[in-house]
Amino acid sequence: MVELRKYQVIKIVVIGLLLLGSGYIAALTLGVNPLARAKPEDRSLEELLDDMDVELLPGSTTQVNVGLLDISGNDVNIADYRGKIVFLNFWATWCAACVIEMPAMEKLHRKMPAENFVMVAVSIQEPAIDVKRYVLLNRLTFDVLLDKSGKTVPGFGIREIPTTLLLDTTGRLIGRITGPREWDSRESTAMFSRLISDQPSN
């Protein structure tokens, strides 16, 4: 009985190895590796959005139109950025996760073409002097706006920070990303490049 069980186990193992081997040979013969993923640059926009865990907002038809002050005291409206893909990030200097993703955001901002892409960070309920000090200390080159009252939080359904919204060239919401991301990753860069290229020409 013991010898029979041992024989059955050996038989199962051998069959398993044969199946794995035949699958590997078939993959080589067909030139396809079933375990390989397409490069980020070759993936579809839907796949890239999924890679970055973007919560899509397909039913959104309202154009974002919110006025805030920048760190120099100038009036800025989000509607002013229409015509470009907008990366709209909500953060605070006291938020550890926000601070962690800022260098990657800066790298992404420097990579993307300014004529098609704009990055905007909205500080939530902080003194202007604290935000300005942080921006200067970290040499951030993207636009930073101030929401001293927190009026944007309920309107955009922000439950925690950092939260990033993606806007299309007409100012409508594409999706929401909750939590930090590696914004300078190949997946992220490919996603924004695809968003830019997929937008209808004006």
Question: Could you tell me the CATH number of the domain that includes residue 157?
Answer: 3.40.30.10
- Give the pLDDT band of residue 41 (cuts 50, 70, 90): confident
What's CA 154's distance to the chain center, in Å? 21
Q: Do β-strands 143-147 and 117-124 pair in parallel, antiparallel, or remain unpaired?
A: parallel
Other CB atoms within a 10 A radius of the CB of residue 66 amount to: 16
Contact of 123 with 91, CB cutoff 8 Å: yes
pLDDT of residue 4: 44
Cβ-defined contacts of 175-180 (< 8 Å, 24+): 175/49, 175/54, 175/55, 175/56, 175/57, 176/54, 176/55, 176/57, 177/52, 177/53, 177/54, 177/55, 178/55, 179/97, 180/97, 180/98, 180/100, 180/101
- Give the pLDDT band of residue 32 (cuts 50, 70, 90): very low
- pLDDT at 16 > cutoff 60: no
Q: What is the mean pLDDT of the segment spanning 168-173? A: 94
For residues 160 and 46, give the distance between their C-alpha atoms in angstroms, rounded to a whole number.
25
Q: Do β-strands 55-56 and 117-124 pair in parallel, antiparallel, or remain unpaired?
A: unpaired
- Give the pLDDT band of residue 36 (cuts 50, 70, 90): very low
- Give the pLDDT band of residue 12 (cuts 50, 70, 90): low
Shared-domain flag, residues 137 and 91 = yes
Tokens of 97: 């996760």
Shared-domain flag, residues 58 and 138 = yes
Other CB atoms within a 10 A radius of the CB of residue 180 amount to: 21
Residue 45's domain spans which residues? 40-198
pLDDT in tens, 135-166: 999 999 999 999 999 999 998 889 999 999 99
Shared-domain flag, residues 10 and 31 = yes
Shared-domain flag, residues 7 and 55 = no
pLDDT in tens, 47-75: 999 999 999 988 777 899 999 999 999 99
Shared-domain flag, residues 63 and 135 = yes
112 Cβ neighbours under 8 A, 6+ residues apart? 119, 189, 192, 193, 196
Shared-domain flag, residues 73 and 159 = yes
Q: Tell me how many domains the chain contains.
A: 2
For residues 67 and 193, give the distance between their C-alpha atoms in angstroms, rounded to a whole number.
27
Shared-domain flag, residues 150 and 172 = yes
Shared-domain flag, residues 159 and 174 = yes
Shared-domain flag, residues 131 and 74 = yes
Shared-domain flag, residues 116 and 172 = yes
The residue assigned the tokens 């039913």 is 59
pLDDT of residue 50: 95
Contact of 92 with 124, CB cutoff 8 Å: yes
Shared-domain flag, residues 9 and 62 = no
Q: What is the mean pLDDT of the segment spanning 192-198? A: 94
pLDDT in tens, 82-131: 999 999 999 999 999 999 999 999 999 999 999 999 999 999 999 999 99
Shared-domain flag, residues 2 and 22 = yes
